[in-house]
Structure 1
């Protein structure tokens, strides 16, 4: 009897999907190949470069400070920060920006990875071209696209005018500014997402694909039943990295729009920076604490969900 496509995945993989624990030797324990004191230098760097500044930020967010004076004022900075009319719009913009950029990176990154792991001509060259934008400075990309998207002299609207199309104000229209910056962000960061997906697809045992070809499975069935589910760890990595980058976005937005026109493309990080420019150091520190809490509150449940899905997959 001909082999059915449901039997492409070996029994041990199907059992793993049902939640069955992997077979291990009884009483076998995993031991680190390094002594515990080898971790001391890394722990010291973590404490000095991350833990101490983090706790210091929590303290200074409760003060009105400058380089020469510190005055404890309690929660006044947070009250003032949340009463800022720009904050609600900036918070919405931050969430929209993070969701749009991470979603497009997942979809386009997976599509490009499937293409660039297939047998196509110039595959190595195309991989290099896809990854090239990652190597370019974010500020350089922002300034370049600011010129290209200029509504009057920009190359993009100039090209559209050749076909009789009047290009919009990509960065001057309040309804388009944030979306335009998000699309540039996707163009720049797509190479990382594609690279992660390529690594995940290449790691899938080729026996699965060979069995599917023997069984006569279509390309869509191979993708749906083999490529996509077995590259789920790569999807989780791309989602986490993209969301963190989107929620913390600042440099590209500042280079292209500075939060304008008006406050239409302001995000939490740009509001914090504007407060710092105005000399409200304690207020901007409180904003950084708020941003830290928001990123943590969003990423912890998403990470747990993705890790649980990876174990159950």
Structure 2
């Protein structure tokens, strides 16, 4: 009875604004948006269209030759390139999923009445401020299979640590875990903002009705922190699909091609002078990110309104 009452109150609060939502008329005239539209067009739309064109050519700095969809045919015929696409999807799903789960759990902990709460929040958020390349180089040393601190610590308790970055079975997931360590602080911060914005009346009503910590989490925090969840999923997924710098700093796509993602393959193609092929890879990456994130964002936001 207690949890049902709290849940219904939360659902009423979430759905009430959407039921009578009326789109407000903008107080600004149309021409007021012109400067922003021009900047957006010059910095985003025009370069995007140019990239689409050059992906259909074999080009260098001085000339270009139109070859149609030849670069795309080559891209999808190359096994390493197709494999990098799967690696990108795996990397994005693992990192975004762990950031959502760990970020929510840490946020619940750091919004409770614990000692040194402010200090712990700073500790969790600190990795976000550190340079990605610096983090990559540091963990490359820590994960060294012979001299790394992680394996040395495991050997003390009788566990032989694997080759985190040299074993093809562990390389991609090892980098993904480092990515989670670095980025979970931002997810936690977003969740903290979502949790502290929940009115205390819900928790007080639940306390009066005898609800426990699990009931509060399940029937109050989870439903009313949904906007934060949508934000974390969207940002983490985009970051995971576009990830490059951490992977390049730690493995350079190796060993072999076992930790290559689309972005690292694109960079290697640029280095090799295959500019048209690498531009086609950029377009493929753009399409993949758009095809995954846009429908997912619409679905999650629609579900949020329906709650």
Q: Which TM-score band (shorter chain)?
A: over 0.9
1:22 partnered with 2:16: no
Equivalent positions of 1:139-154 (< 5 A) are 139-154=133-148
Q: Is the 8 A contact 1:19 1:311 kept in 2?
A: no
Shift of the 106–29 alpha-carbon distance from structure 1 to 2, 3 Å rule, reads closer
Q: CA deviation at 1:10?
A: 6.2
Matched residue, 1:282: 276
| Secondary structure, aligned partner of 1:8 | helix
| Secondary structure, aligned partner of 1:238 | helix
Q: Is the 8 A contact 1:131 1:191 kept in 2?
A: yes
* Structure 2 alignment gaps of length 5 or more: none
1:38 partnered with 2:35: no
Give the paired residue count. Answer: 307
Q: Is the 8 A contact 2:84 2:262 kept in 1?
A: yes
Matched residue, 2:214: 220
Q: 2:59 aligns with which of 37, 60, 65?
A: 65
Matched residue, 1:7: 5
For the residues of structure 2 that align with 1:14 and 1:258, how far apart are their CA atoms? Answer: 48
Q: 2:181 aligns with which of 182, 187, 191?
A: 187
| Secondary structure, aligned partner of 1:87 | helix
For the residues of structure 2 that align with 1:21 and 1:191, how far apart are their CA atoms? Answer: 31
Matched residue, 1:302: 296
Matched residue, 2:172: 178
TM-score, normalised to structure 1, is: 0.94
Shift of the 235–21 alpha-carbon distance from structure 1 to 2, 3 Å rule, reads closer
Shift of the 40–297 alpha-carbon distance from structure 1 to 2, 3 Å rule, reads same
| Secondary structure, aligned partner of 1:264 | coil
TM-score, normalised to structure 2, is: 0.95
For the residues of structure 2 that align with 1:20 and 1:190, how far apart are their CA atoms? Answer: 31
Matched residue, 2:162: 168
Q: CA deviation at 1:104?
A: 0.3
For the residues of structure 1 that align with 2:262 and 2:200, how far apart are their CA atoms? Answer: 45
Q: Is the 8 A contact 1:16 1:312 kept in 2?
A: no
1:122 partnered with 2:116: yes
For the residues of structure 1 that align with 2:196 and 2:26, how far apart are their CA atoms? Answer: 28
For the residues of structure 2 that align with 1:58 and 1:201, how far apart are their CA atoms? Answer: 42
Matched residue, 2:130: 136
Matched residue, 1:312: 306
CA deviations 1:5-29 (Å, max 9, x no partner) are 3222565x544667895346xxx76
Matched residue, 2:201: 207
For the residues of structure 2 that align with 1:167 and 1:284, how far apart are their CA atoms? Answer: 37
Q: CA deviation at 1:57?
A: 0.3
Matched residue, 2:151: 157
Shift of the 127–15 alpha-carbon distance from structure 1 to 2, 3 Å rule, reads closer
| Secondary structure, aligned partner of 1:41 | helix
Higher helix share goes to which structure?
A: 2
Shift of the 174–21 alpha-carbon distance from structure 1 to 2, 3 Å rule, reads closer
Q: CA deviation at 1:72?
A: 0.8
Query: What is the alpha-carbon root mean square deviation over aligned residues?
Result: 1.7
Shift of the 204–20 alpha-carbon distance from structure 1 to 2, 3 Å rule, reads closer
Matched residue, 1:242: 236
For the residues of structure 1 that align with 2:17 and 2:197, how far apart are their CA atoms? Answer: 22
